[in-house]
Amino acid sequence: MITLRKSADRGFADHGWLKSFHSFSFADYHDPRHMGVGNLRVINEDRIAPGTGFGTHGHRDMEIVSYVLDGALAHADSMGNGGEQGVIRPGDVQRMSAGTGVRHSEFNHSQDGATHFLQIWILPDEAGIAPGYEQKHFSSESKRGRLVTVASPAGAGHAEGSVTIHADATLKAGLFTGDERAEMVLDPSRIAYVHLVRGALRVNDHVLHAGDAARIEGEPRLVLEGGEDAEVLVFDLAP
């Protein structure tokens, strides 16, 4: 079964300095039909205006993954991460395990361009773990015409050297255009969730456009093809 979630049906918040689309219920946007998928709780598509950002605030017991599309995002936290080492740019994947509690800020220091990124929250397998931070770069070449694992429980032990998340979930990223095609065997006991970041892409014969998503259950495989400058994220999730 494939259930589509169109971009235009997402929640939206305009705070002036921040414009954010919510795939699932978040903050003032609440829809009991869209509270998350499996252990995936948040996909926010955020655009932060130049010279602005999220002030210092706290999280706990959540795996938070940031995926930058355009611009740069400067991160600083109570674990001591920050400075140039804490700046993430397109191709970077950042993971912060909030665990017992962490405070952090995220800022767009550019004076002439917005930072466009995805904020992803996944419930951890265990509450009360020690907070942690990690970021890695995955080049466009490595994602061209294929799905690359960028976040997984195996982390650095994974063949593709993903960041480590303390949750029963795997996140893959890929770039597809023209004749490029990828197939992925699916476990029928789990949930696959495809979120199209930009462009257009055919997902098991359903055409998705930027911001669209597909929840896939009970299907034997995932087929991605017919891309038009497409960037896609694929989640393998515990039900």
Domain coordinates in residue numbering, the chain: 2-237
Q: What whole-number percentage of the chain has pLDDT above 90?
A: 92
- The pLDDT, as a whole number, for residue 24 is 98
Instruction: Give one DSSP letter per residue of the chain, joined into a string.
Output: -EEEE-GGGSEEEE-SSEEEEESS-BTTB--TT-S-BTTEEEEEEEEEPTTEEEEEEEE-S-EEEEEEEES-EEEEETTS--GGGGEE-TTEEEEEE-TT-EEEEEEE--SS--EEEEEEEE--SSSSPPPEEEEEE--HHHHBTSEEEEEESSGGGSTT-PEE-SSSEEEEEEEE-TT--EEEE--TTSEEEEEEEEEEEEETTEEEETT-EEEEES-SEEEEEEEEEEEEEEEEE--
pLDDT in tens, 125-179: 999 999 999 999 999 999 999 999 999 998 766 667 899 999 999 999 999 999 9
Instruction: Give the model confidence (pLDDT) of 68-113 as tens digits.
Output: 999 999 999 899 888 877 899 999 999 999 999 999 999 999 999 9
Confidence (pTM): 0.95
Architecture of domain 2-237 in CATH?
A: Sandwich (2.60)
According to the model, what pLDDT value does residue 225 have? 98
Q: Mind listing the pLDDT tens digit for each residue in 180-227? A: 999 999 999 999 999 999 999 999 999 999 999 999 999 999 999 999
